[in-house]
Copies of this chain bind each other. A is one copy, B any other.
């Protein structure tokens, strides 16, 4: 667990800062968050999933964050919030703040003469920033990160070690990019010509909004002619692949290992489960939820939950089922024949 807050913060102040209702002793000093079942003196824990209600009575925490319905479940000092997990997120950020980097450029960093790096930015060892790139206020550029020519990184961004931002990419404010992510590589575009491939130059950009988070080793390709666009407050987990000319709407969250082929538009406030695969040139409606490991091959115009997964079975059972699946057509034929026979008898 991250280091505790140096002096701690009274519960009363936490309540005020996250907009939750205070119940009980507001003077208790809290210096860290902890899980309900492993919290000690000075810690605050939260209950969001009713499955863990039994932990509430037994917790060793000094205070808890609960929903109104659970407020009676403990005599501890508490924050009561309609959305305890959101309140917890705020409290945790207050108690475990990210240490602001010292504004400094490491002597081993290589910054082109024509790059514009804000005086408040921090650039770590071996980072490389190309010609005419712009790096905003308070940006943190991790060790070995590479920012290409003419790229723009907005204020307060955090690029972890080894992030690669290709030339001309644009990243909004307060965006976090984790190590190994590659922003703006060429899209997968080529023309077939008598059995050989001719590369189609990829001339567009990647344009990323503000308050975005991009996971480790995720890749987002530049557009072929136009741009690939990632909206504000989009959250991308690790090892996601987003093809050229995709457009991901604001507030959409995508779990790890998802692949989205080129030119697909995902709406706003969508949620896409891990390892889902979405074909190219589709439109997915705002607010759509795609289950994990689901393949999507047609546009979705009606929001809802969509699933397409063959259920895992004990292998022996699966073999029979997989065999039966191959014979499904004949099942339909045979059914029809039987129905016809029955009809004949009944007529």
List residues of chain B with CB within 8 A of the CB of A321: 325-326, 328-329
The yes or no answer to A100 lying at the interface (CB within 8 A) is no
A88 CA / B34 CA spacing, docked (Å): 49
List residues of chain B with CB within 8 A of the CB of A160: 164, 166, 185
Closest to A126 in B: B126
Contact (A313, B308) CB under 8 Å given A89-B198, A90-B198, A239-B239: yes
Q: Is the CB of A216 within 8 A of B161?
A: no
Q: Is the CB of A162 within 8 A of B146?
A: yes
Q: Is the CB of B309 within 8 A of A93?
A: no
List residues of chain B with CB within 8 A of the CB of A259: 239, 256-257, 274-275
Q: Is the CB of B143 within 8 A of A146?
A: yes
Q: Tell me how far the C-beta of A328 lies from the nearest C-beta in chain B, rounded to whole angstroms.
A: 4
Q: Tell me how far the C-beta of A292 lies from the nearest C-beta in chain B, rounded to whole angstroms.
A: 6
A-B contact pairs, 10 of them (CB 8 A): A89-B200, A92-B200, A92-B201, A144-B146, A219-B256, A275-B277, A304-B315, A306-B312, A307-B319, A317-B326
Q: Is the CB of A342 within 8 A of B339?
A: no
List residues of chain B with CB within 8 A of the CB of A293: 277, 295
A338 CA / B320 CA spacing, docked (Å): 20
Q: Is the CB of A251 within 8 A of B166?
A: no
Q: Which A residues have a C-beta under 8 Å from some C-beta of B?
A: 1-2, 33-35, 38, 83, 85-86, 88-90, 92-93, 96, 98, 106, 108, 110, 124-126, 128, 142-144, 146, 148, 160-162, 164, 166, 176, 178-180, 182, 185-186, 188, 190-193, 195-201, 203-204, 211, 213, 215-217, 219, 221, 225-226, 233, 235, 237-239, 241, 243, 251, 253, 255-257, 259, 261, 269, 274-275, 277, 279, 290-298, 304-322, 324-329, 331-332, 334-335, 338-339, 341-342, 345-346
Q: Is the CB of A196 within 8 A of B251?
A: yes
A122 CA / B233 CA spacing, docked (Å): 39
Q: Is the CB of B309 within 8 A of A295?
A: yes
List residues of chain B with CB within 8 A of the CB of A327: 332
With a 10 A CB-CB cut-off, give which of A192, A257, A261 has the most chain B CB atoms: A257
Number of copies: 3
Contact (A217, B324) CB under 8 Å given A128-B126, A309-B310: no
Q: Is the CB of B324 within 8 A of A34?
A: no
Q: Tell me how far the C-beta of A290 lies from the nearest C-beta in chain B, rounded to whole angstroms.
A: 8
Q: Tell me how far the C-beta of A236 lies from the nearest C-beta in chain B, rounded to whole angstroms.
A: 9
Question: CB < 8 Å: which of B1, B199, B233 contacts A203?
Answer: B1
Q: Tell me how far the C-beta of A175 lies from the nearest C-beta in chain B, rounded to whole angstroms.
A: 11
Q: Is the CB of A180 within 8 A of B217?
A: yes
Closest to A203 in B: B2
Q: Tell me how far the C-beta of A180 lies from the nearest C-beta in chain B, rounded to whole angstroms.
A: 5
A339 CA / B195 CA spacing, docked (Å): 51
Contact (A188, B309) CB under 8 Å given A125-B110, A239-B239, A320-B329: no
List residues of chain B with CB within 8 A of the CB of A274: 241, 259, 261, 277, 279
